[in-house]
Structure 1
C-alpha cells in the first residue's frame, strides 16, 4: 500500500490542478490551454508550477467574514446607523409629491372613463 502512495499523491495533484485550471477564468502568466498541457505533460512539476505561478490571485474585497452584507464584521454597537424613511423629511416630502401626482392621474383616468360612458350611452345600438 505504501508503494502506491506516490502515485496517489501525483494523481490527486494532477486532478486537483487540472480541474482548478479549467474552472479558472483568467490564469496568470500563460494561457489556459498552455497551463492544461503543462499540468498534463509534467504531472508533478506542472501541478506545482500551477499552484505557485498559475492560479489567479484571490483578494477579498473587504476583510470581513461575510462581505455580502453592509454591516458584516461589525458588532451591533459599531454598525453604521441608517435612518428609516419615516424619520427622513426629504423622503416624506417626496412621498407627498408622489401622492399628488398619483391623485391627479387618477382624476384624469376617471374623467376619461366618464367621457367613454357618455359616448356609449349617446351612440345608437344595432340590434344584432
Structure 2
C-alpha cells in the first residue's frame, strides 16, 4: 500500500485542480487561459497541479474582491431601506 500512496496523492491533487480550474471565473485565472491550465494539469502529472496552485489560481487582486459585500441581508443598508 505504501508504494501506491504517492500515485493516489498525485491523482487526487490533479482531480482537485481540474475541478478548481473548471469552477474558476474565466477573467480571474492568471498567466494562461483556463483550457491551457486544464491541459497542463492533466498532461504534466506533478508540475501542472503545482503550477496551477502557485501561478494560475485566482487571487483577490485578479477577482477584484476588494469591495466588501454584506454577508447577510440585515447587514445591507440598501436592502433594509427597500423594505
Hey, what's the Cα distance between the residues in 2 that align with 1:16 and 1:50? 11
Moved over 6 A (4+): none
Q: Residues 66-88 of structure 1: CA distance to partner in whole angstroms, max 9, x if unpaired?
A: 6233528xxxxxxxxx89x9xxx
Which residue of the other structure, out of 45, 57, 60, is the alignment partner of 2:59? Answer: 57
Gap runs ≥5 in structure 1: 73-81, 86-128
Whichever of the two has the greater Rg, that structure is 1
TM-score, length of structure 2 as denominator length: 0.71
Structure 1 residue 47 displacement after superposition: 0.1
Q: Residues 10-43 of structure 1: CA distance to partner in whole angstroms, max 9, x if unpaired?
A: 0000100011111212211101111111101111
Bigger relative CO (Cα 8 Å, ≥ 6 apart)? 2
SS for the counterpart of 1:2 is coil
Q: What is the root-mean-square deviation of aligned Cα atoms in Å?
A: 2.6
Gap runs ≥5 in structure 2: none
Contact 1:61–1:67 (CA under 8 A) maintained in structure 2 = no
